[in-house]
Amino acid sequence: MTSIERIIEYTNIKTEPLHEGRIKPPVNWPDKGEIVFKNVSLSYDKNLPNVLKNISLKIYPAEKIGIVGRTGAGKSSFFQTIFRMYEPDGQIIIDGVDIKDLALEDLRNKLTIIPVFKK
């Protein structure tokens, strides 16, 4: 019965609007890799405190960065905002395009995360 209850719960989850966007990204977008965060905040629920609080930063093209921190510091939340797994407040601009203007399908088809492990 637990499995059936879970299936029923999952069928009632609101789906994401994958194809709704105001603009289409350029064919070769992103081509430089510049990422700008302007006052980005994220809360997983309107009744919960922000897990990201007014982050402003600029990652320059071809720049390599590392994001480190203890458990619960917001590392995963930072990346979830780039893929719009949750809609943050503020602006995230990648190569001159505000990602809120893109359809989720266009955004997610153009980005990837490549983990690097060094010995």
Structure confidence by residue, pLDDT tens digits, 14-61: 777 777 888 899 899 999 999 999 999 999 888 899 999 999 999 999
The CATH H-level superfamily of 17-110 is: P-loop containing nucleotide triphosphate hydrolases (3.40.50.300)
Contact between 30 and 112 under an 8 Å Cβ cutoff? The reply is no
Q: What is the mean pLDDT of residues 98-119?
A: 88
Q: What is the pLDDT of residue 73?
A: 86
- When the pLDDT of each residue in the chain is averaged and rounded to a whole number, the result is 90
d(CA 36, CA 98): 9
Helices (H), 1-119: 2-11, 75-82, 104-110
Answer with the residue of higher pLDDT: 3 or 97.
97
pTM to 2 decimals? Answer: 0.81
Name the amino acid, one letter, at 6. Answer: R
Q: What is the pLDDT of residue 95?
A: 96
